[in-house]
Amino acid sequence: MTTSEVALLGIRHHGPGSARAVAAALAQWRPDAVLIEGPPEADGIVHLAAEKDLVPPVALLAHAVDDPAKAAFWPYAEFSPEWVAIRHAVEHDLPVRFIDLPAGYGFAPAPEEDAAPETAAEESAEGDTAEEDGAEPVADPLALLAEAAGHDDAERWWEDVVEHRAPGGDALAPFAAVAEAMGALRAEGLGGCRRDLLREAYMRQQIRAARRAGHQRIAVVCGAFHVPALERMPTVAHDRALLAGLPKKVRTDITWVPWTHRRLSQTTGYGAGVQSPGWYHHLFTTDGDPVPRWLTRAADLLRAEDHPVSSAHVIEAVRLAETLAVLRGRPLAGLTETLDAVRAVLCEGSDVALELVRDRLVVGDALGEVPDAAPAVPLQRDLTRLQRSLRLKPEAAPKDVDLDLRKETDAARSRLLHRLRLLGVDWGVPARSSVNSTGTFRESWRLCWQPEFAVRIAEAAQWGTTVEEAAADKAVGTARAAEELAELTGLVETCLLAGLSGALPAVMRVLADCAALDADVAHLAGALPALVRALRYGDVRGTDHGALAEAASGLAERICVGLPPACVGLDAQSAAAMRGRLDEVHGAIGLLTAGTDATAGTAPDPDGLAGLADRWAAALRSLARREPAGGPATGAPGLLRGRAVRLLLDDGRLDSEEAGRRLRLVLSVANAPADAAGWVEGFLTGGGALLLHDPRLLALLDEWLTGVSGEVFTDVLPLLRRTFAGLEAGVRTTIGGRVAAGPLGEPPAAQAAAGELDRARADAAVPVVALLLGVRPKIPRQAAGRDT
């Protein structure tokens, strides 16, 4: 409505109907100044909206200068009424100002308690019903209005009366009606929380300032809930008294950042709670009836995903959506009717296909763009430069990328992604490649840009002005603060992957000091695999890994000495964890010593790796012999002893005869059944094919299992089921067949020879086999004699 020279345009944030109404009202009112609900810190950069490179969805990002983690966003889509007002102002060269409470107050601690800055800032941008300062949440005004109109669905009611209606002859009439409704609600006691009162007082002060500046026709675009408070202005002294209680404002920086439709749809974090941004964008940008064109887009999407959708499907879907709207008493088919038609006609009742339409069209993956002229920290500018030079464009939709590290560009991309992960910017995460490869020259990533990365980049700016410098300093700082040895070895691996050669010496010094003080074999075992993996990157990445090899061999030697006694007296949970570390260390030592045996004695071995494999085998033998003679606390668990025997057997350092002897001893009546079951589990972990190749082992196991009592069998059954469930399906089937065929303990050929051949049944199959092979059947003489 209008009060002298001020037009108060009450809107619903991110509503396409409100956006169209604002555009029509501004065209009719022709203001000489535009005031918008938003952070006043953005007044200096609002002119960038005139740049063609500022493409919504975008957001204003404000953060505290001294603490970038205190940040807030004000997102705008093309269908946001505020964005429409901004564009109108810059296109007509009009002054445009933001009049909400400055973001710097939201970042300051409240007098009674520290308020979350995101909550305070998002409230001013996204809605007017958030809980603040301990007040009870305000009821939803739209829900109350819908209830008064006899509707139980506030969203559907608002779409019918606002979003789906075109502006009429008087573009200001809808705003007058909304202002009257909100005034009635506030007159009934539906007031705002304390922060709302502060915001409204500040908005009134800014309107007075615009009047003092000489503007005659002022358009104010704000949330409809605030219109009654801005229409009836109290005294200046009243507002000054309210604002006197504000805390000291925090120094704040602000800029434009890209946003996404998907983030707009989220109601948590920095989302806006718009359930259907893709649909709203279509409503705002489409002239005429939006339903046929949207259903056409849905058909194109489904056809691209190999769903059989024709033009006839689209025609029938349009008819169904319009019919449903009539039956439900709606002026136009809304999203509900349109999706019902999509499910019934285009998707043929499939919720899976419908979910694809929801994800791609109702929500969407639109990603905005920001011009280079927008303020940014040096780290952000360096990242933008690298993205362009490496041709890695940020995209909101997930994208899989395979990198060949033998190529210079791909290697540089890999280093960038690893450095960003070190800085907490998980733009790319490692993924499983569609190409099966065990080589170290290939990496697979899944890229997906998230708007909140802008905050993390601002936080990481404290470490340096370039991505490489910031990642290196962050690595050194993380190493000095690390408490676990495994964390340090993982950091060494990351430094090598990220190509941070400058940070590696400092990290290695911290690692050496920590390793020297750590006597826990479990910690050492958890740290070794990462170091050995890092050594593998030396060939493809061209890194000097001499210090790494020395550190890895030192850890391996200490593990060889300390492993057997460290496994004594472990409970079941600790034994299971140690078995995982045992397997990892075994694989790591295998990689570490690969190729040393062939050159032993003929070339210098500065790292002392030639005999490491033998020392590790000796440690495994010592572990396998630590039987619990005086109770479980006096020996190593059967799970670890059996695993040690299996590792020795697989490496050829133990023959099958000795393995069978050890199995026979473990399964004897002198051992506890639970310990024997654990030994079997450790022995068979990783594959049970050896039971097929050596039937004597299977016979020993079968004999033991059939000989235990019923009570003991019930106790060990969970362990055995878990053991055999981990075997390959084919192995389990074959073992079952062998046990059923019996007798066990003899080779399969001997079992077959012991059986008597049923010649009559064999002869009956000869004609069929001959027919399949296309030859004349040759009837054996014995069969012919029986036939005659």
The identity of residue 482, as a single letter, is A
pLDDT for residue 775: 80
CB atoms near residue 554 (< 10 Å): 18
The DSSP bridge partners found for residue 402 are 444
Structure token digits, residue 464: 């340096």
Identify whether the C-beta of residue 563 lies closer than 8 Å to the C-beta of residue 623: yes
Per-residue pLDDT, averaged over 375-398, amounts to 91
DSSP string, 313-343: HHHHHHHHHHHHHHHTT-SS--HHHHHHHII
As given in the structure block, the two tokens for residue 366 are 């639109």
Cα–Cα distance measured from residue 621 to residue 616, given in angstroms and rounded to the nearest whole number? 9
Find all residues with CB under 8 Å of 276, minimum gap 6, and list them: 265, 335, 362, 363
Helix (H, G, I), strand (E, B) or coil at 257: strand
**Which residues is 637 bridged to in the sheet?**
none
Please choose, from the candidates 380, 374, 372, the residue with its C-alpha nearest in 3D space to the C-alpha of residue 47.
374
Which of 254-268, 403-417, 429-443 shows the lowest per-residue confidence on average (mean pLDDT)? 429-443
Query: The tokens of 212 are what?
Result: 């003092």
pLDDT class of 82 with cuts at 50, 70, 90: very high
Give the C-alpha separation, 721 to 741, whole Å.
Answer: 21
Is there a contact between 450 and 257 (Cβ–Cβ < 8 Å)?
no
Find the DSSP H helices in 567-655.
572-592, 596-599, 612-625, 638-650
CA angle, residues 10, 12, 15, in degrees to nearest 5? 130
CA atoms of 497 and 429, how far apart (whole Å): 13
Distance between CA atoms of residues 482 and 173, nearest Å = 64
CA 547, 553, 557, 560: dihedral to nearest 10 degrees?
Answer: 140
Of 431 and 783, more confident: 431
Is pLDDT of 568 > 90? no
Q: At a CB cut-off of 8 Å and minimum separation 6, what does 749 contact?
A: none
Alpha-carbon torsion 40, 45, 47, 52, what sign?
negative
With 80 as the cut, is the pLDDT of residue 540 above it? Answer: no
Average of per-residue pLDDT across 23-35:
94
Cβ neighbour number for residue 189 with a 10 Å cutoff? 6
Structure confidence at residue 88 (pLDDT): 95
Environment class of 435 (CB within 10 Å of its CB; exposed 0-12, middle 13-18, buried 19+) = exposed
Per-residue pLDDT for 43 more than 90? yes
Nearest CA to 200 among 181, 171, 225, 183? 225
Per-residue pLDDT at 689 exceeds 50: yes
Residue 526: enclosing H or E segment and its boundaries? helix 521-541
Neighbours of 745 (CB within 10 A): 15
d(CA 44, CA 570): 66
Structure tokens at 187: 């007159």
Handedness of CA 89, 90, 94, 99 (dihedral sign): positive
For residue 328, what pLDDT band results from cuts at 50, 70 and 90? Answer: confident
With tokens 């958030």, the residue in question is 130
Mean pLDDT of all residues belonging to the chain: 82
pLDDT, tens digit, 9 for 90 and up, residues 443-478 = 899 999 998 898 899 889 889 989 999 999 999 999
Q: How far is CA 722 from CA 274, 541, 678, 684, in A?
A: 47, 42, 10, 11
Using the structure block, give the residue that is written with the tokens 């045992």: 582
Residue 332 pLDDT > 50, yes or no? Answer: yes
pLDDT at residue 641 is higher than 70: yes
Q: How far apart are CA 160 and CA 333, in angstroms?
A: 9
Burial class of residue 539 in the structure, from the number of CB atoms within 10 Å of its CB (0-12 exposed, 13-18 middle, 19+ buried): exposed
Mean pLDDT, rounded, for 152-162? 75
Distance, first Cα to last Cα, the chain: 112
Predicted local confidence at residue 370, as pLDDT: 92
Can you tell me the distance from the alpha carbon of 46 to that of 34, in angstroms, rounded to the nearest whole number?
A: 12
User: pLDDT above 90 covers what percent of the chain?
Assistant: 34
At residue 536 the predicted structure's pLDDT band, cuts being 50, 70 and 90, is low
d(CA 266, CA 692): 55
Residue 508, both tokens: 């290695």
| Sequence-ordered list of residues with C-beta below 8 angstroms from that of 86, at least 6 positions apart, any chain | 34, 36, 46, 49, 76, 96
Tell whether the model's pLDDT for residue 509 goes beyond 50. Answer: yes
The confidence score (pLDDT) of residue 759 equals 80
Which tens digits make up the pLDDT trace of 576-629?
A: 889 888 988 898 888 888 755 444 443 345 445 668 888 899 999 999 888 876
Condensed to tens digits (0 to 9), the pLDDT of residues 644-687 reads 988 888 888 888 788 878 877 887 777 788 888 888 888 888 77
What are 194-250's pLDDT values in tens digits? 888 999 999 999 999 999 998 999 999 999 889 999 988 899 999 999 999 888 899
Name the token pair of 276. 């259907």
Q: What is the mean pLDDT of residues 359-377?
A: 90
Q: What are phi and psi of 403, to 5 degrees?
A: -115, 135
- pLDDT band per the 50, 70, 90 thresholds, residue 379: very high
- Quick one: average pLDDT of 381-388? 93
Q: Cα angle vertex 474, ends 473, 479, to 5°? A: 100
Could you tell me the two tokens for 591? 């990689």
Q: What average pLDDT does range 499-517 have in this prediction? A: 84
| 268 vs 398: which has the higher pLDDT | 398
Q: Is the pLDDT of residue 124 over 70?
A: no
| Residue among 193, 179, 194 nearest 145 (CA) | 179
CB-count burial class (<10 Å; 0-12, 13-18, 19+) for 91: exposed
Q: What was the pLDDT predicted at 673?
A: 80
pLDDT recorded at residue 96: 95
Q: How far apart are CA 156 and CA 275, in angstroms?
A: 12
Q: How far apart are CA 735 and CA 706, in angstroms?
A: 15
Q: In the prediction, which pLDDT does 596 show? A: 54
Residue 164 has pLDDT above 80, yes or no: no
Q: Determine how many CB atoms are found less than 10 A away from the CB of residue 534.
A: 25
pLDDT at 678: 85
pLDDT of residue 122: 39
